[in-house]
């Protein structure tokens, strides 16, 4: 696949002006508009009760507010529905990073038995398209969903009063004592890699009830839900994070305060934990400043436009 760098119009402040787009799926207004209609089309699910937007609500920064996604016939999945903002800049998709392109990613929920449970060919036939056209249109629409122009972005671009003193103190913790930029880096606050923070660790160890791409069937070991191997999961974006609770791949942490407490403890110890993690020993005021800074990453979301 050949990627082209495409300049997008009116890209929000703080994001790269050029987005990588496959040569075989150039962005057009027509495809983005078609993809937006398909994203909201319940015919893409087996019983025609849910659409892509059922788990990716613009009011929640394209997440859904549940711990784990709920699909057709009330079936519950294993993972939290991620916020799909700025995914056009992504290099790996799903919590276990098992898919390398948006064109592949957008079709997986349609055929997943826990989500929309419909063969892709059947879904495409229902809406009068080929599977390839369905994929290209949905991927084009997802590329149009961008978030930026947050108070943090305005600070970085010279507006010194864009963050409160407390938020600026939180930024210093984020960059320094917290060591958050080891993983949450770049314009989208994600290195697009997988890491073990111990979220999937269970004590005492229990066999896995579900497997990720690096495991086959039952796991003789410690993780109740494997990701890309050894309990690793992809670094999510922190943009709009105040609007995307609950947190982690399994939605196990309800509040930003819970997330900060988790990392303040150094994650959950296990034999495969990322070397960057260690107890932070933050005091209450530092934790409060940290939360305030994370809220400064909420900005404006633009979708459905080229």
**Separation of alpha carbons 112 and 8, rounded Å:** 32
Q: Kindly report, residue by residue over 273-295, the tens digit of the pLDDT.
A: 999 999 999 999 999 999 999 99
Contact between 139 and 103 under an 8 Å Cβ cutoff? The reply is yes
For position 68, what pLDDT does the model report? 96
Q: What is the DSSP letter of 41?
A: -
For the cut 90, the answer to whether the pLDDT of residue 266 exceeds it is: yes
pLDDT the model gives residue 216 = 30
pLDDT value at 217 more than 80: no
Share above pLDDT 90 across residues of the chain, in percent, rounded to a whole number: 84
pLDDT category of residue 4 using cuts at 50, 70 and 90? confident
φ and ψ of 263, to 5 deg? -75, -30
The answer to whether the beta carbons of residues 116 and 50 sit under 8 Å apart is yes
Q: Are 225 and 210 in contact (CB under 8 A)?
A: yes
DSSP 76: B
Separation between Cα atoms, residue 8 and residue 136, nearest integer Å = 18
Q: What is the mean pLDDT of the chain?
A: 91
Which two three-digit tokens encode residue 77?
Answer: 């999945």
Range 67-77 average pLDDT = 96
DSSP3 helix / strand / coil % (the chain, rounded to 5): 30, 10, 60
- Delimit the domains of the chain by residue range: 3-146
Q: What is the DSSP letter of 253?
A: B
| CA 141/CA 223 separation, integer angstroms | 35
| Per-residue pLDDT tens digits for 131-145 | 999 999 999 999 999
At 71 the three-state DSSP class reads: coil
Q: In whole angstroms, what is the distance from residue 141 CA to residue 123 CA? A: 17
Model pLDDT for residues 27-41, shown as the tens digit of each residue = 999 999 999 999 999
The two tokens of residue 93 are 């998709």
Q: In this predicted structure, what is the pLDDT of residue 229?
A: 67
Question: Contact at 8 Å (CB) between 6 and 15?
Answer: no
What is the arithmetic mean of pLDDT over 230-254? 96
- Of the spans 220-229, 259-268, 297-306, which averages the highest pLDDT? 259-268
Name which residue leads in pLDDT, 272 or 218. 272
**C-alpha to C-alpha distance for 120 and 221, rounded to whole angstroms:** 35
- Superfamily, domain 3-146: Cytochrome c-like domain (1.10.760.10)
Helix residue ranges per DSSP H, the chain: 29-39, 102-105, 108-111, 120-126, 131-143, 151-156, 165-175, 256-264, 284-295
pLDDT mean over 298-304: 94
SS3 letters across 175-197:
HCCCCHHHCCCCCCCCCCCEECC
Q: What pLDDT shows up at residue 86?
A: 97
| pLDDT tops 70 at residue 221 | no
The DSSP result for 48-63, as a single string, is: S---GGGTSBGGGTTB
Lowest mean pLDDT among 124-128, 204-208, 256-260: 204-208
% pLDDT > 70, the chain: 91
Q: Which pLDDT tens digit goes with each residue over 7-25?
A: 776 789 999 999 999 999 9
Q: Which of 157, 198, 55 is nearest to 114 (CA)?
A: 55
Does pLDDT of 81 surpass 60? Answer: yes
pLDDT score at 225? 58
pTM of the model: 0.92
Residue 156, pLDDT score: 97
| Closest C-alpha among 264, 261, 263, 256 to residue 298 | 256
- 214 vs 144, which has greater pLDDT? 144
Q: How far apart are CA 242 and CA 235, in angstroms?
A: 16
């Amino acid at each position: 696949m050949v990627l082209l760098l495409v300049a997008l119009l009116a890209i929000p402040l703080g994001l790269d002006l050029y987005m990588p787009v496959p040569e075989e799926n150039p962005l057009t207004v027509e495809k983005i508009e078609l993809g937006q209609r398909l994203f909201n089309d319940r015919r893409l699910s087996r019983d025609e009760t849910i659409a892509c937007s059922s788990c990716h609500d613009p009011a929640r920064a394209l997440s859904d507010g549940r711990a784990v996604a709920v699909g057709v016939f009330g079936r519950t999945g294993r993972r939290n529905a991620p916020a799909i903002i700025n995914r056009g800049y992504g290099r790996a998709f799903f919590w276990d990073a098992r898919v390398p392109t948006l064109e592949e990613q957008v079709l997986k929920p349609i055929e997943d038995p826990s989500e929309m449970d419909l063969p892709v060919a059947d879904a495409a036939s229902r809406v009068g398209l080929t599977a390839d056209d369905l994929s290209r249109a949905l991927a084009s629409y997802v590329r149009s969903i961008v978030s930026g122009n947050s108070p943090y972005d305005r600070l970085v671009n010279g507006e010194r009063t864009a963050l409160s003193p407390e938020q600026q103190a939180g930024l210093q913790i984020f960059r320094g004592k917290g060591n958050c930029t080891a993983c949450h880096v770049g314009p989208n606050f994600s290195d697009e890699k997988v890491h073990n923070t111990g979220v999937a660790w269970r004590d005492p160890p229990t066999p896995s009830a579900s497997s990720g791409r690096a495991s086959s069937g039952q796991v003789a070991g410690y993780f109740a839900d494997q990701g890309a191997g050894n309990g690793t999961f992809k670094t999510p974006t922190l943009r709009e994070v105040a609007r995307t609770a609950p947190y982690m791949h399994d939605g196990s942490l309800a509040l930003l305060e819970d997330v900060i407490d988790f990392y303040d403890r150094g994650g959950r110890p296990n034999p495969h934990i990322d070397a960057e993690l260690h107890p932070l020993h933050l005091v209450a005021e530092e934790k409060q400043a940290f939360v305030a800074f994370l809220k400064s990453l909420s900005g404006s979301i633009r979708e459905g436009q080229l």
